[in-house]
Structure 1
Amino acid sequence: MGTLIIRTRQMIIQEVHGFSSLISLFPENTTLNVLMAGDHWNIPTTCNSTTQNAFNSIPISGDGRDKCIAWGSDNIHKFGSFIEEFYSFQEDVMWSKVVWHKHHALRFSIYAWLCFVGGLKTSDALRKRNIEVDPKCVFCHCHEESVSHLFFECDYTFSIISKMLPAITSFLLRPNLHQISDFLSNSVLLNYGSLSVNLLMLWAAVYSIWHERNERKFANRTRSISNLKLLISKVVDIKLRRWKKF
C-alpha cells in the first residue's frame, strides 16, 4: 500500500495512491469532496477496512469551502508540516544543525554533509569497494587518504583550516570533524552570528580543499597554501556581504 498524501478536498481521488479498492469505485477526475460529509469521512462500505481506517484516522479541519486535511495533531496546513511528518521515522543526528545552519551556503554544506555520511570518494572509501587507486594523500604523499586525514591530520590542509579557525589549535591532538563541530556549537565564546560565520568558513575550507584535491589528482594543477587560503577568504567574504545581519 502506498503513502496516503492528501492536500485539499479538490484533490482528485486517483491522485491518492495505494487505495485501488477506493479508486475503482469512482469515475476519473472525481474530487475528494464526494468522500467528505461535514467534518468526517464518508467512505463507501464496499471498501476494505484498511482503506476505511486509513481515511478515518486523518482529521478534516477548516470551515472554508476548500477544506484541508490536517497533518498530525494541529490544524496548520503547510508544506513544512508534511515534511516533518514524512521524515519523522528517521533518527535525528547531532550534526545536522552545524551543517544546515541558518546562513549555510548550499554548495559548501553539501560537502560537509557528505563528510558526515561517508559520501566522499576518498581513497580509503574506494579501496573498501575493491576499487584500486593510489592510497596516498595528494598533499603530503605520506599517509593514506581518508576524511580525517584529508582535512585535519594532513599538515597542508590543517594549516589552512587552522588559519581560518585559530581556536582549533587549542586541541591537544588533531581533532576530527565531529570534535570540531561540537567544539564550535558548544563554545561559550560564540554567539549565534559568530557561530554561523565560523561554520561558513569551516565548510568553505572543506569544499575548497576537496576541490584542490581533485585538481591535483585529475588535472595536475596545484595551488600553494597561501593561494588556497586567499581563495577561501574571498568566497567567504562574498557570502558575508550578502548577509543582511548575523
Structure 2
Amino acid sequence: MLLSLFEGLPFFVLWPVLAAIGVGWYLVVCGGLYLLLHRSRLARGARRFKTQQQPTRADQVRGEVFDGVLSMSMVMGSIAIAFWCSYHGYNRLYADVSEYPLWYVPVSIFGVFVVMEVFEWTFHWACHRNDLLWKIHKHHHRYSNPTPFGVMADQPLDMFIKSSPILWIPFLFPIWDVALIGTFATLNFLYGTYLHAGFDPPFMPSPHSRFLVSAWHHNEHHAGSMDHNYGFFTGALDILFRTRLSPSDKAAKRPGYRCTECRGAATP
C-alpha cells in the first residue's frame, strides 16, 4: 500500500519526499501538543500534572525543534532504505495485505513491538555504559526538562541507530508496510511524544505502575537518574536487570519527594 505510493522514485528523490512528510508530521503532532500544554488556555490547569514544576526554557525548545527536524529526516532515511530494498527484492517488506493471511498482520505487529522494546532498552542501556555510544547519545540528555519536541531531539546518528529496526526487521520476517510504518508512527513516535511531554495525566500510565513506563519514569531518566528507567513501553527489562526506579524509590532517598500523582492526592 505505502510502497506503491512511492514506487518508481529514485532514492535521491524518495528520501527528501519522505523526510518532508515526516518532518511535517513531527511539527504538527509535537507542535500541537506543545501549544496545548504550554500556550493554550488549558495550560494552567494542566500544570498540576507536570512532572517538573519549573518551566522549560525557550532556547531549549528551539534546540529540540532543530534537532528534531534533523533526526526525523534520519528516521525517514531508514524508511527510504527499507522501501528501496523492497523495490529491488532484497527484503520481505510487502505492500499487498492479502499476500499473507490476515491473522499474520497482528502477529507481525506484535513481533515488531517485541523487537522494538528489546532493541530500545538494550541500545539505551549500552549508550550509558559504552564511552563511544555515550558520546553519540549524550546530546539527547542536554534536554533535562523535555517538551513533546524532545521525542526526536537526538544527535542524528543516535536517531538513525534507534530507527534502524525499520531497516532490518523486514530481513527477519515478512511485514506489511502499513504494519511496520504504522507501528513505528504510533507506538514509537506517539508514545515517545507522551514520554517526553513531561506530563502525567490520570488517563495515562501511573508513575506508580509496576510494569508500564509513564512520562514520570522517562522524565526521571532525563532529570538526573540516568542509570535507571531505560525502558520505552514496559518496565519488564528494567525490572529484570534492576534498573527500574519508582517514585517510592526516589522518595526513600529524598524524604518529602512527591510525584505528580502523589501531589494531586495530597491536594485537598
TM-score by length of 1: 0.27
Greater RCO (Cα-Cα under 8 Å, separation 6 or more): 2
The structure carrying a bigger helix percent of its residues is: 2
TM-score by length of 2: 0.25
Indicate the structure (1 or 2) with the bigger Cα radius of gyration: 1
